[in-house]
Structure 1
């Protein structure tokens, strides 16, 4: 059987994905395809960048609007270099732990692994309270969760852009977490660009204090987390290859996947 991705022969900075049963080449907005053909799932990559450091983090980021995470409103956030976001404090731990951790922190992990941005790669973060990004977020959430008649009032975009893995300086992986809130609702989009092959384990999902609410995206800690056939980049729970969307303002106890 012929591999449909090999047949497409996607170019540099592109990846193969399945949308509506059709395999296509996708790229992020830093590397647009000719004639503005279909882009990948990434939101614009811009904003402040963190200081490069092994197991580092952003400074404390004061939010323009509170973000409610399973009933807990937060006014600050930290973007940690190893592919996760925390709220009360930065967290430098690099070896991923499987969810549920039954720990003492709330965490959102679009790609928790052992990154090293000391030589190349940048971690971006930016928040929005007006403009086209809010319109895009509103449209996306209403497509994925049409029952809520949602209007975004705040968006926070964190991007780990072309980050190498530890001891793999030639690797480049791009992942993104887009936090979206409006009214009583909170959501996250986990977006995946190019994901280099990786020998380290990867946890994707979220967890809460004492793991009252937690979720693990299928494929975490498997052999299919990275490379051309990364399950996170090729698959989706909202029919957009490389994008996963979850509601975060409340949820059921002990959820593995929804």
Structure 2
């Protein structure tokens, strides 16, 4: 089976964060500029509760579900209430040469075959065997004002969080990959078309102009709530009115 994680921890030479409950944010000066949906950053904060920020550190442990419509760009492997003073470590390391760059180059070109990508720098941040209090979380990313965001399905449902190790968008259980430089199809590695047949009860005549658009908009909101990208589009193929 493919290896999910890149090398991490003290054995890999990582810098290990100090274990302080809920208040641990380490500033990392990036070796290369990092472009995130149009914003360029030269630093990031590795926050103890499972996410990266760029403009300021954060000790926020009350989980906020994306989209936040806030003032911070966020990358969240799993944002939840983590206590590293009791168990686990948080570590990070940057690479500008060696086998990690070679592996990342191979992986990204496999996941994005039209990109022709060569890695020149990699930041690996890892939350390893950390203890958390709440059985809810948020995994994915969000941008300033939520102009782009993605929620990994299942990450906001505490009962299925353990199943994240089996989920993927790149056919590697436990691994998700996204293009975040603002390029085409950054939310999806491939376009998916799904046909759905539904029976809807409504007090309004859905065959009248305008009414079905309201239903489609509500359905789109529900799908985004369950983790589909905000760019999901719904097109109506056929509507048939039936008697109660």
TM-score (norm 2): 0.72
Whether 1:250 aligns to 2:182 is: yes
Q: Rg: which structure is higher?
A: 2
Q: Residue in 1 aligned with 2:210?
A: none
Please list every run of at least 4 consecutive aligned residues from structure 1 whose deviation after the TM superposition is greater than 3 angstroms.
Answer: 251-258
Which among 20, 25, 38 is matched to residue 71 of structure 1? 38
Q: Secondary structure at the match of 2:61?
A: coil
The runs of 5 or more residues in structure 2 that have no matched partner are: 188-223, 233-244
**Structure 1 pair 41/136, CA: closer, same or farther in 2 (3 Å)?**
same
1:208 lines up with 2:143 in the alignment:
yes
State whether residues 204 and 216 of structure 1, in contact with CA within 8 Å, keep that contact through their aligned partners in structure 2.
Answer: yes
- Structure 1: stretches of 5+ with no match in the other structure: 1-37, 167-198
What is the CA distance between 1:89 and its match in structure 2?
1.0
Secondary structure of the equivalent of 1:60? strand
What is the Cα deviation at residue 200 of structure 1?
A: 2.2
**Does 1:112 pair with 2:79?**
yes
User: 1:219 Cα deviation (Å)?
Assistant: 1.1
- In the alignment, is the contact (CA less than 8 A) between 2:148 and 2:230 conserved in 1? no
Q: Does 1:235 align with 2:167?
A: yes
Higher strand share: 1
- TM-score after normalising by structure 1: 0.68
Alignment correspondent of 1:155: 122
**Alpha-carbon distance in 1 for matches of 2:77, 2:67:** 15
Contact kept in structure 2, 1:53 and 1:118, CA below 8 Å: yes
Partner residue of 2:6? 43
2:55 counterpart of 1:88 = yes
Q: 1:127 aligns with which of 65, 90, 94?
A: 94
1:257 deviates by: 7.6
Distance 2:142 2:104 in 1: 23
Aligned equivalent of 1:189? none
Output the CA distance in 2 between the equivalents of 1:257 and 1:238: 19
* Deviation (angstroms), 1:39: 5.3
RMSD between superposed Cα atoms in Å: 1.9
Distance in 2 between residues matched to 1:225 and 1:95, nearest whole Å = 19
Show the counterpart of 1:185.
none
Shift in Å, 1:56: 2.4
Name the residue aligned to 1:5. none
Q: Which has the higher helix share?
A: 2
Q: Distance in 2 between matches of 1:128 and 1:51?
A: 21
| Residue deviations 1:35-57 (CA, integer Å, cap 9, x gap) | xxx45401111310111111123
3-state DSSP of counterpart to 1:205: strand
